[in-house]
Amino acid sequence: MSQWLTQVIDDAKRVDDFLAPMRQQALSKLQTQGWPHARSEEWRFTPLTSIKERSVDASSIAGNYEVPEIEGLNAIDLVFVDGLLVTNLSDISLPSGLSVYALSDAPSAVQSKITSLFGHVKPARHVFGLVNDALCQQGIYVEVDEDASIDTPLRIVNLATKDCDAHTRVLVNLGKHSQLKVIEHGSGNVASFTTAFAEYVIGEKASLEHYRFALFTGAAKQVGGSHFSLQHSANLNSTLVSYGSELSRLDVDIIHAGEHANAKMNAIYLLAEGEFFDLHSTIEHAMPNGTTEENARGIIGDRARAVFSGRIHIHRDAQKTLAELNNRNLLLSRRAMINTKPELEIYADDVKCAHGATVAEIEEKALYYLLSRGIKRSKALVMLNFGFIQELVNAIDDESIRTWLLPMLSERFASMEVK
């Protein structure tokens, strides 16, 4: 058991609210599972030493902050700073059909809805997900009424501004035939540790357009996840963009809980020198006639290390499933590293599935061609890198987000140049 986890368990025993039964279950599992060991397949490539010996330090006061702007995006912003919800929900005007509640202040009539969702989509195998279950007291519950189409995006901003532990939770419940766009936007570069988990239930014939920007860098350590349960004919279109830091890990679970559900997930990760990023995705096809398309592309800078573990699990009854998983990686130097493991596990006999992974280096001929035409090396590398991820950027439906990303990614590519 680590010093940090022992202190977490002691602190969690003192949390007493309407989520106490779920917190107790999480604590029991934490005490049974203990700290992930090096032989654990889920964690063997993830460097946890810096957290293992860390002292727990929760913040009661938010640091100074500035909410990152996405020009042209007219969104409802819900802002967490150092794990504290700083947005006053009573000051927000919500469109008809959309309700938002703070977990710490939810009316008793809503508490039963929260307890029916809390921890039911996110798998219990994730040790830091259990820590979040046991400790997080700051979070929001979002509900979309049946048949409601919400045009205004909901942006959930999570900022790390000082050295403390921060645990936040997002629960989203989309009613039948509803539509919503959610942007999870995290950033920070100071020494800190953040766990941020989100659970989504997408109702029958409902649609969710989802984005997660995990833009933590430097000494900011973050572990989190986005977890989705798709009901009958539900649609999910998710885009993930992540940088690397001293420790950055993201888990995604998509559960096809109803027939004819469709899921599309595109992921981009860009690691500068010495950074680390770990993406684990699991797709559970539990019902027939579901479709999944997952594309993950990473560019890994000098001495940086990335991990990709993607698993598609086709259950025995999930006949007529179509599922495809691709992971492509570009190493910018011989000292960059990627551990990639795409995996198919199929128990049904009438399915169409494929998976693959590639690892490549910058093509010297292409680079030489650009340099020979007077293009500076830094600009040539930006052009080649953009070419590698261009397809996924162009697939982003929201024009404001696409326009915001392009110059930001150019700046990122410049910082990734191998000297």
pLDDT tens for the chain, 419 residues long, are 688 899 989 888 888 899 999 999 999 999 998 888 877 888 889 988 888 888 888 777 888 999 999 999 999 999 999 999 999 999 999 999 999 999 999 999 999 999 999 999 999 989 999 999 999 989 999 999 999 999 999 999 999 999 999 999 999 999 999 999 999 999 999 999 999 999 999 999 999 999 999 999 999 999 999 999 999 999 999 999 999 999 999 999 999 999 999 999 999 999 999 999 999 999 999 999 999 999 999 999 999 999 999 999 999 999 999 999 999 999 988 899 999 999 999 999 999 999 999 998 887 888 888 888 888 777 787 788 888 898 999 999 999 999 999 989 988 887 787 77
**Buried-exposed string 8-45: b where 16+ CB fall within 10 A, e elsewhere:** bbeebeeeeeebeebbeebbebbeeeebbeeeeeebeb
Give me the pLDDT at residue 62, please.
Answer: 87
Cβ pair 399, 72 in contact under 8 A: yes
What pTM value is reported for the model? 0.95
Residues 6+ apart with CB under 8 A from 298: 268, 269, 270, 271, 277, 306, 308, 327, 328, 329, 330, 338
3-state secondary structure the chain: CCHHHHHHHHHHCCCCCCCHHHHHHHHHHHHHHCCCCCCCCCCCCCCCHHHHCCCCCECCCCCCCCCCCCCCCCCEEEEEECCEECCCHHHCCCCCCEEEEEHHHCCHHHHHHHHHHCCCCCCCCCHHHHHHHHHCCEEEEEEECCCCECCCCEEEEEECCCCCEEEEEEEEEECCCCEEEEEEEEEECCCEEEEEEEEEEECCCCEEEEEEEEEECCCEEEEEEEEEEECCCCEEEEEEEEECECEEEEEEEEEECCCCCEEEEEEEEEECCCCEEEEEEEEEECCCCCEEEEEEEEEECCCCEEEEEEEEEECCCCCCCEEEEEEEEEECCCCCEEEEEEEEEECCCCCEEEEEEEEEECCHHHHHHHHHCCCCHHHHHHHHHHHHHHHHHHCCCCHHHHHHHHHHHHHHHHHCCCC
